[in-house]
Amino acid sequence: MRKQALRWAICLIALGALLIGVSIFSLCVGAVNISSGDILKIIFGGKGTAGYDILFNIRLPRILLGFAIGGALSLAGVISQGMFRNPLVEPYTLGLSGGAALGVCLNIILRLKNPFGIPSLPLCGFLGSALVIAIVYFLSRKKGALKMQGLLLTGVMISFICSSLVMLIMALSRSEDLHGIVFWIMGSLEEPNRLLIKAALAVSVTGLFISYIFCKDLNVLALGEEEAAHLGVNVERVKLALFLLASLLTGASVAVAGIIGFVGLTVPHLVRMALGQDHRIVLAASFLTGGVFLILCDTLARTIITPLELPVGVITGILGGSIFVWALTKSAAAPGER
C-alpha cells in the first residue's frame, strides 16, 4: 500500500512539474517570443510595458483558462466513463454541447449581446446546457431510478436534435453571425472577461474536490450496479450526484470556451492505461493531464501559423483523435502480445 501511495505521489508531482513547464513554455512563445529570463524581469519591474501586457493580459489568462477547462473536461470524462462503465463515453455524449451551442446561436442571431453585454454569450450557453440536463434527466428517470442505457440514448438523440437546430440557424444566418457561430463552435480560450476565468477555475477545482467524495463509489460501480448495491452503495443517489457533477463541469466549460473535443475522451483513457483503474489516482491525474494537454494545444493553435490563430478545438481534434486511435490500437494489441 505504501509503495502504491508513493508511486501515485511521484506521478502527481511529475504531472505538476510538467504543468509548470508547459505553462512557462506557453508564456514564452507566440507572435512575440519572450525568453524565460525576460519573464522574470517583466514580473519584477516591467509593469506598464508591452511585455507585461502580453504576459498578464493575453497569455497568462489563456493558460489559467486552459488549465481550468482542460481539467474540468477530463474530470467530467472520468466521471462519465466510470458512471456508464464505458471508456468511449465523453462529456459531450449526453447532448450538453449541443444545448450550449443552441443557446449561443440564439444569443448571436437575436443580438442579445447588445443590450446585455458580452457575458450574455456564456450565460446563454450554460442555460442551454442546463435545459438539456433537465430534459435528459426527466426523460431517463423511470420509477425513481435513473436508467443508464436510457440516459445515454436520450442524450445522444437530444444532441442530434440540437445539432440539427444549430445547422438550421446557421443556414438562415447572415454572414457576420455565421462567422461568430462557427468560431465559437470550434472552441477558443481567448476570453477577456477575468470574472469568467475565475469562475471557470473555481468550478473546476471545486469539482475535483467534490469528485473525491465519490472516488470509492466509482471504483465499486465498475463491478456493476447490483454488486455495488450489495456492497452498501446507494446506487441511485451516487448516479444522480455524478450525473449532475459531470454535467455542471461540462456545461460550465462549454459555456466559457465553446466546444473543445477529445479532451474528455482521450485524457482519461491515457491516464487509465498508464496508472490503472483506481479512481483515487485517476481523478487527480486526469485533471492535471487535461490541463497540460489543453494548454499545449492552445499554444500550438496560436503559434503554428503565426500571426493567424487556429481555434483550439481544431488542434485538440487532430492531436487528441490521433492519440486516441494510437491508444486503441495499442490496447487492442496488448492481449495478443502476452
Cα–Cα distance measured from residue 236 to residue 80, given in angstroms and rounded to the nearest whole number: 15
230 lies in some domain: yes
State the 10-residue block means of pLDDT for the chain, 338 residues long: 87 96 93 82 76 87 96 94 87 86 88 72 88 89 79 89 91 83 85 87 96 94 89 90 91 89 92 92 96 96 86 91 85 52
pLDDT of residue 116: 63
pLDDT of residue 338: 38
For cell 470574472, what's the residue? 195
Cα–Cα distance measured from residue 306 to residue 255, given in angstroms and rounded to the nearest whole number: 27
Output the CA torsion sign for 98, 100, 101, 107. Answer: positive
pLDDT of residue 181: 85
Q: Quote the crossing angle between the two packed helices 148-172 and 175-185, to the nearest 10°.
A: 150
CA within 13 Å, CB half, 88: 3
87 lies in some domain: yes
320 lies in some domain: no
Query: Strand, helix or coil at 142?
Result: strand
Q: Which of 84, 75, 219, 95 is nearest to 154 (CA)?
A: 95
Cα–Cα distance measured from residue 41 to residue 312, given in angstroms and rounded to the nearest whole number: 30
330 lies in some domain: no
For cell 466546444, what's the residue? 259
pLDDT of residue 337: 43
Percent of the chain as helix, strand, coil, to the nearest 5: 80, 0, 20
pLDDT of residue 333: 58
324 lies in some domain: no
Torsion, Cα 32 197 109 171, to 10 degrees, reads 70
Q: Which of 46, 17, 19 is nearest to 34 (CA)?
A: 46
For residue 251, the domain's CATH number is 1.10.3470.10
Cα–Cα distance measured from residue 164 to residue 158, given in angstroms and rounded to the nearest whole number: 10
Q: Quote the crossing angle between the two packed helices 60-84 and 2-28, to the nearest 10°.
A: 140
Cα–Cα distance measured from residue 19 to residue 289, given in angstroms and rounded to the nearest whole number: 8
Q: Which of 58, 68, 77 is nearest to 204 (CA)?
A: 68
pLDDT of residue 56: 86
Query: Strand, helix or coil at 215?
Result: helix
Residue 108 belongs to domain spanning: 2-306
316 lies in some domain: no
Domain count for the chain, please give it.
1
336 lies in some domain: no
315 lies in some domain: no
Q: Which of 121, 122, 151 is nearest to 138 (CA)?
A: 151
